[in-house]
Amino acid sequence: MDETQAHIEFLGLREQPFAPTADPVYFYATREHKECLFRLWNSIDSGHGIAVVLGNYGTGKTTLLRKLITGMAADPERYHAAVIGSPIPSWTSFALLENIVAQFGLRPSTPSYVAYMDALNRHLLANRNRICTLIIDDAQNLNKRGQLELLRLVQNLETQQRKLLNLVLFSQLEWAEVLRAAPNFHQRVNLTYTLGAIQFEETRQFIAFRLMQAGAREDEGPTFEEGALRAIHAYAEGIPRVIVTLCRNSLLVASQLRERVITADMVLHTIDKTTLPDPEKRVRVVAAIAEHAVSADGQRVQTPAGEDPGSLDARARDQRAARILLQAGRENQSVESA
Amino acid sequence: MSAEEAQDNAARQLDGPVSNEPDAIEGKLMDRIGPDARLDSGIPEDQRGGDLDFVEMSGITLSPPLPDPSPADAPSPNANDPLGFYEAGVIDVDGAMEAAAEKTDLSPGKMRSPSADSFREIAEGLSEQNFAGAKTSTVEPDGSPSLPRTPDAPPFPRRGPTSATRT
């Protein structure tokens, strides 16, 4: 057994719960992600044309995209999808068309615009009893007028009631400016949904869900202390990818220390050792932990959700973490003032 | 914003929320979304694919080609059931050309172009006849007078079903 797997098994897990991949198995439906999916499916099923999902990097767009594709793949008689994962900014409109056609599995023998459009249109007509959808990730790379014009043209084929090709475009927020600059395309967008950061309670559930999916059992799996959760959420500012990275590195520390409880000081140590130095953010993290852990006179002010209030061990751990963290906060402040 | 504008806005409550209704609608909407596995966390066990499925899903690698021949890539369109505007147009144009070709028999095997030598020989023959006088007058089967020619001269190439009357 290799060392990585040994760490995972020590923690009582079957696999890495915080892998740096957009695996739909680990898709967690926050309120926002669920609403986004609901609206996307409605737009797709109705053949309403173009849907855009905007979100800052790390907000879970690609995982959501793959959740969508998995849903389509489960019903191939009803859905037919092609995916372009990473369009290249320098693509001409014809290169984009070539990729669209290729991802639908078509290989026209004549390399011409008319032949490719005709091949695509025939394919869509031949599959008109299915819901055909082209999904593009990293759509912010498509910022040329010709590329948007091509996208507009490929979904022009329609019946009386619906488009024969849906487009679902996932993009970073800055693409909004490109859309505004191309009103003839923008006007045809049926849905624009913007994903944001997740809330603290969702961070807690997000982490718990991933542990469960990776095989954690209540009596054996790793546990994140309340202070650790608050530290992670404060550092990540609710961005799922940052949460995942920090959890992954914190788990490594825990397993190296032969601990199954991830404490706030472990998280702080991980932040110090694995991220870019950011004293301001570190102080915010420490403050978030301390605010939860103790009041001014050292008494707990909040019981972590899901934790036994009578658990002396848990309380002792939190207080220990708070002491360390308050000390760390004071050190930070003295360094800054010096 | 000037102090006066701020005061005016405050008086008219322009900076306050117009309505709290959108939040209430969102709450109701979420509550009324029915059970749907497509919206839930994770994916059902039976939808989990292998490593290659996962890679293919990324859209970074090229999709495998459809089984050949695909209906979309058919080499010749069906004239009775054109699929697209372009195809219909091509069928019309091709059809018109075929009809014209039938009338004029433009097929390659039946096309002959007169060579320069043929013209030269004919011209020489005509000159000889003009100066030496016509020895015989032959008549074509349709009754029109034919070109007098020397025994060695090749036949003048003809095009079309009717023969021209030459003097």
Percentage of chain B surpassing pLDDT 70? 35
On whether the CB atoms of residues B94 and B133 are closer than 8 A, the answer is no
User: Is the residue at A205 inside a domain?
Assistant: yes
Pick among B39, B40, B45, B61 to test the A interface (most A CBs inside 10 A): B39
A122: left (phi over 0), alpha (psi -120 to 50) or beta: alpha
> Which chain B residues are closer than 8 Å to A96 by Cβ?
none
Nearest CB to A118; choose among B42, B64, B84 = B84
Identify the three-state secondary structure at position A267. helix
Q: What is the C-alpha to C-alpha distance for residues A40 and A192, in angstroms, rounded to an integer?
A: 9
Q: What confidence tens digit (pLDDT) does each residue in B139-162 have?
A: 444 444 444 444 444 444 444 443
Q: What confidence tens digit (pLDDT) does each residue in B8-30 have?
A: 777 766 666 667 777 788 788 88
Domain boundary among A140, A167, A195: A195
Structural domain of A130: 31-195
* Nearest-by-CA chain B residue for A69: B57
Q: What is the structure's pLDDT at B138? A: 44
Cα B33 from chain centre: 47
A156 Cβ contact list (under 8 Å, min separation 6): none
Q: With 70 as the cut, is the pLDDT of residue B1 above it?
A: no
State whether A10 and A116 are in the same domain.
no
Structural domains of chain A, count: 2
Q: What confidence tens digit (pLDDT) does each residue in A64-102 have?
A: 999 999 999 999 999 999 999 999 999 999 999 999 999
State whether A208 and A184 are in the same domain.
no
Contact assignment for A118 to B47 by CB distance below 8 Å? no
Residue A290's nearest CA partner among A300, A305, A279, A303 is: A300
Q: What is the C-alpha to C-alpha distance for residues A288 and A139, in angstroms, rounded to an integer?
A: 36
Q: What is the C-alpha to C-alpha distance for residues B68 and B166, in angstroms, rounded to an integer?
A: 59
On whether the CB atoms of residues A172 and A57 are closer than 8 A, the answer is yes
Contact assignment for A122 to B29 by CB distance below 8 Å? no
Tokens 């718990």 correspond to A208
Contact assignment for B63 to A82 by CB distance below 8 Å? yes
Q: With 80 as the cut, is the pLDDT of residue A242 above it?
A: yes
In A60-175, the DSSP E strands lie at 79-84, 131-136, 165-171
Q: With 70 as the cut, is the pLDDT of residue A149 above it?
A: yes
State whether A190 and A175 are in the same domain.
yes
Q: What is the structure's pLDDT at B156? A: 45
A337 confidence band (pLDDT: 50, 70, 90): low
Residue B59's nearest CA partner among A22, A6, A214, A33 is: A22
A232 Cβ contact list (under 8 Å, min separation 6): A203, A207, A224, A243, A246, A247, A250, A267
User: Is the residue at A217 inside a domain?
Assistant: yes
Q: What is the C-alpha to C-alpha distance for residues B27 and A184, in angstroms, rounded to an integer?
A: 33
Q: What is the C-alpha to C-alpha distance for residues A320 and A266, in angstroms, rounded to an integer?
A: 12
A241 confidence band (pLDDT: 50, 70, 90): very high
Q: What is the structure's pLDDT at A166? A: 96
**To 5 degrees, how large is the angle CA A143–CA A148–CA A149?**
140
- Tokens representing B83 are 């699929």
Nearest CB to A38; choose among B39, B66, B72 = B39
State whether A15 and A65 are in the same domain.
no
Contact assignment for A41 to B66 by CB distance below 8 Å? no
Q: What is the structure's pLDDT at A205? A: 96
Taking the Cβ of residue B29 and every Cβ of chain A, the question of whether any pair is shorter than 8 Å is answered with yes
Q: What is the structure's pLDDT at A268? A: 94
Task: Give B57→chain A minimum CA distance, Å.
Answer: 7
Task: Give A41→chain B minimum CA distance, Å.
Answer: 9
Task: Give A37→chain B minimum CA distance, Å.
Answer: 6
State whether A321 and A252 are in the same domain.
yes
Taking the Cβ of residue B11 and every Cβ of chain A, the question of whether any pair is shorter than 8 Å is answered with no
Residue A157 Cα distances to A78, A99, A152, B64, angstroms: 19, 18, 10, 24
The H or E element containing residue B101 is helix B85-104
Q: What is the C-alpha to C-alpha distance for residues A66 and B57, in angstroms, rounded to an integer?
A: 7
Q: What is the C-alpha to C-alpha distance for residues B45 and B51, in angstroms, rounded to an integer?
A: 15
Q: What is the structure's pLDDT at A73? A: 93
Query: Rounded mean pLDDT of B103-120?
Result: 52
Contact assignment for B84 to A25 by CB distance below 8 Å? no
User: Is the residue at A330 inside a domain?
Assistant: yes
Taking the Cβ of residue B84 and every Cβ of chain A, the question of whether any pair is shorter than 8 Å is answered with yes
User: Is the residue at A224 inside a domain?
Assistant: yes
- Tokens representing A19 are 């892998």
Nearest CB to B57; choose among A66, A105, A213 = A66
A9-13, A26-30, A176-180, B107-111 — which is least confidently predicted? Answer: B107-111
In one-letter notation, the amino acid at residue A1 is M
State whether A90 and A15 are in the same domain.
no
* Nearest-by-CA chain A residue for B44: A25
A322 confidence band (pLDDT: 50, 70, 90): low
Average pLDDT over all residues of chain A: 88
State whether A191 and A44 are in the same domain.
yes
Domain boundary among A195, A211, A229: A195
A267 confidence band (pLDDT: 50, 70, 90): very high
The H or E element containing residue A123 is helix A113-126
Q: What is the structure's pLDDT at A310? A: 38
B127 confidence band (pLDDT: 50, 70, 90): low
In one-letter notation, the amino acid at residue A138 is D
Identify the three-state secondary structure at position A111. coil
Query: Rounded mean pLDDT of A236-259?
Result: 96
Q: What is the structure's pLDDT at B59? A: 84
In one-letter notation, the amino acid at residue A261 is V
- Tokens representing B151 are 């025994």
User: Is the residue at A26 inside a domain?
Assistant: no
Domain boundary among A176, A195, A214: A195
What is the interface pTM, i.e. ipTM, of the complex? 0.80
Pick among B26, B73, B83, B93 to test the A interface (most A CBs inside 10 A): B73
Q: With 90 as the cut, is the pLDDT of residue A44 above it?
A: yes
State whether A83 and A175 are in the same domain.
yes
Query: Rounded mean pLDDT of A216-233?
Result: 91
State whether A42 and A189 are in the same domain.
yes
Q: With 80 as the cut, is the pLDDT of residue A182 above it?
A: yes
Task: Give B9→chain A minimum CA distance, Å.
Answer: 30
User: Is the residue at A232 inside a domain?
Assistant: yes
Count the Cβ atoms, other than its own, within 10 Å of residue A281. Answer: 15
User: Is the residue at A133 inside a domain?
Assistant: yes
Count of pairs with CB atoms under 8 A, one residue in A, one in B:
112
Higher pLDDT, B102 or A18: A18
Taking the Cβ of residue B96 and every Cβ of chain A, the question of whether any pair is shorter than 8 Å is answered with no
Q: What is the C-alpha to C-alpha distance for residues B4 and B8, in angstroms, rounded to an integer?
A: 6
State whether A158 and A36 are in the same domain.
yes
pTM recorded for the entire structure: 0.70
State whether A209 and A186 are in the same domain.
no
Task: Give A38→chain B minimum CA distance, Å.
Answer: 7
A28-42, A182-196, B80-94 — which is least confidently predicted? Answer: B80-94
Contact assignment for A105 to B58 by CB distance below 8 Å? no
On whether the CB atoms of residues A262 and A294 are closer than 8 A, the answer is no
Q: With 50 as the cut, is the pLDDT of residue A45 above it?
A: yes
Q: With 80 as the cut, is the pLDDT of residue B50 above it?
A: yes
* Nearest-by-CA chain B residue for A33: B39
| Pairing of β A223-224 and β A261-262 | parallel
Percentage of chain A surpassing pLDDT 70? 86
Contact assignment for B43 to A27 by CB distance below 8 Å? yes
Q: What is the structure's pLDDT at A159? A: 83
**What is the phi/psi pair of residue B3, to 5°?**
-65, -35
Q: What is the structure's pLDDT at B46? A: 85
Identify the three-state secondary structure at position B51. helix
Residue A62's nearest CA partner among A103, A22, A20, A21 is: A22
> Which chain B residues are closer than 8 Å to A215 by Cβ?
none
Contact assignment for B73 to A126 by CB distance below 8 Å? no
Residue A320's nearest CA partner among A211, A251, A226, A180 is: A226
Contact assignment for B73 to A107 by CB distance below 8 Å? yes
Higher pLDDT, A138 or B77: A138
A160 confidence band (pLDDT: 50, 70, 90): confident
State whether A171 and A247 are in the same domain.
no
A132 confidence band (pLDDT: 50, 70, 90): very high
Q: What is the C-alpha to C-alpha distance for residues A285 and A26, in angstroms, rounded to an integer?
A: 26
> Which chain A residues are closer than 8 Å to B87 by Cβ?
118
Q: Residue A98's domain is classified under what CATH number?
A: 3.40.50.300
Tokens 């043209």 correspond to A153
Q: What is the structure's pLDDT at B7? A: 75
Higher pLDDT, B100 or A173: A173
Contact assignment for A83 to B26 by CB distance below 8 Å? no
On whether the CB atoms of residues B144 and B165 are closer than 8 A, the answer is yes
Q: What is the structure's pLDDT at A311? A: 43
Q: What confidence tens digit (pLDDT) does each residue in A204-220 have?
A: 999 999 999 999 987 77
* Nearest-by-CA chain A residue for B87: A118
User: Is the residue at A102 inside a domain?
Assistant: yes
Q: What is the C-alpha to C-alpha distance for residues A29 and A67, in angstroms, rounded to an integer?
A: 10
Contact assignment for B86 to A23 by CB distance below 8 Å? no
> Which chain A residues are closer than 8 Å to B30 by Cβ?
31, 34-35
